A = this chain, B = another copy of it.
Amino acid sequence: MASDSVLLGTIDSETLNNTILNPGSIQINVTGAFIVDDLLYEDAESIPETNDIALPFQNHDVSHVAIDIGGSLAKIVYYTSNESLTNSQEDLGPHINKKILNTNDSDSGDELQIDPTKGGRLNFHKIETERISELIQFIAKLIKFYNKNIHIMATGGGAHKFYNRIMDELNVEITKEDEMECLIVGLDFFITEIPNEVFLYSESNPMQFVNDINKENNNIYPYLLVNIGSGVSMIKVTGPSNFIRVGGSSLGGGTLWGLLSLLTEANSYDEMLANASKGDNSNVDMLVGDIYGTDYGKIGLKSTTIASSFGKVFQKQNGPDLSARRSKFNPDDISRSLLYAISNNIGQIAYLQAKIHDLERIYFGGSYIRGHPQTMNTLSYAINFWSEGTKNAYFLRHEGYLGAVGAFLKRQPTGWGRKNSFTVGGSENILNGVLSKLDALNVNKDYE
């Protein structure tokens, strides 16, 4: 793919040369992009990583890094080219020195010829926000890897809170980007550019990919984005740069993690999720059947419906002694009950917001979900139950990185994020992408 020469046809060569030569404003090519299936290095300390995205036709280095620093987790997105990986002399750890991809890694079904010495991958990495110094050290390693100054695109609350510290310690330039805006830019990119990214969840089909949303430009709107991190934000999106935060909830991931870290021995979120998978919430929750002895059929409440989360716990028979009370309840049951309670609650509020704003598609993003089947099942079930099947819950494989990818893209004035570029790798599409992206950058936010 000689995309450079194609672009020269309509964009003046000075602009293009600037774009190529200036770090941080280089062309990025998503032709033939696919999600990488290689197993990633894990240790006890690290958070399991989200799969990277191969960009087989991205032939220039990109030396800007995007960070999205939330209340609990900092997310980092950066690009490593196969060429740089080949030339890299130093061992910069498993998150940077990854294997070089070739054609056989692609699951996109494309017929494109991929040159394994070219291209590279978009990397996704998380570090707890409280370990901000490790985040800064990690960026320092990337600077070593790129062997030049880099620019940092930063979003999330921590972009403001840690702005001076990061700038001072790394001696880099940082651009702060609005959090909601980045979420939307990131989500739009994933919906329209990355195949096998968006999916519907059901127990019988846990990952039913929805690639047809990508097929036509601009029919992805309107939608509701429910971003579940430590807390929850709900954003109504009616166009590439038209959105409004319609609501939120303080009952999010931070609530689940926080309460479970006081109620169980679990030391990581994945341990908590594993416990929840083994638990039986009916030992902790009061079900309709516990109160009625049967269904409350008149108003459609089944005997298995949860009437009160944790409703079986506070009883005199469990005694006046705290440790005795605690010993009566199983940590797995507690974990499952709380996972249900928080997920159901978010699902219900999301449904109510979608109803008020007349939105049929609800995307769930954020690091709360983590590809966990019970979580997705509960969210899906809640949307389906409340909407009587009229609304759909969509999930993403890079759910936690909407903001970080959005910030990464904000550094790209042209060429990145061309609609449908992965389905047809032609020059016309590339050009259309450039122009539409330039349009889109006239951001018209609508904070009502």
Contacts and interface: CB of A to CB of B under 8 A. Distances in A.
Contacts of A326: 262
A344 B292 contact: no
A313 B157 contact: no
B308 A262 contact: no
Interface in A237-272: 245, 247, 249-255, 257-265, 267, 269
A255 B348 contact: no
B352 A288 contact: no
Given A264-B322, A296-B157, A299-B245, A250 B314 contact: no
Contact of A341 (B245, B250, B307, B314): B250
A311 to B, nearest CB: 3
A231 B254 CA distance: 23
Given A286-B230, A292-B161, A356 B352 contact: yes
Contacts of A288: 157
A291 B261 contact: no
Interface residues of A, number: 80
Given A130-B316, A160-B293, A249 B299 contact: no
A55 interface: no
Contacts of A322: 261-262, 264-265
A318 interface: yes
B70 A291 contact: yes
A158 interface: yes
Interface in A298-342: 298-300, 306-318, 320, 322, 325-326, 329, 334, 341
Nearest to A445: B298
A308 B259 contact: no
Nearest to A306: B250
A286 B157 CA distance: 12
Contacts of A299: 180, 245, 447
Contact of A313 (B250, B261, B294): B261
Given A250-B306, A298-B178, A258 B311 contact: yes
Given A157-B288, A254-B286, A254-B314, 12 more contacts: A71-B307, A157-B291, A161-B293, A178-B298, A231-B308, A245-B299, A250-B285, A254-B307, A254-B311, A258-B308, A349-B352, A352-B352
12 contacts: A72-B286, A72-B311, A157-B291, A231-B308, A249-B345, A250-B285, A250-B306, A250-B309, A251-B341, A252-B311, A257-B314, A258-B313
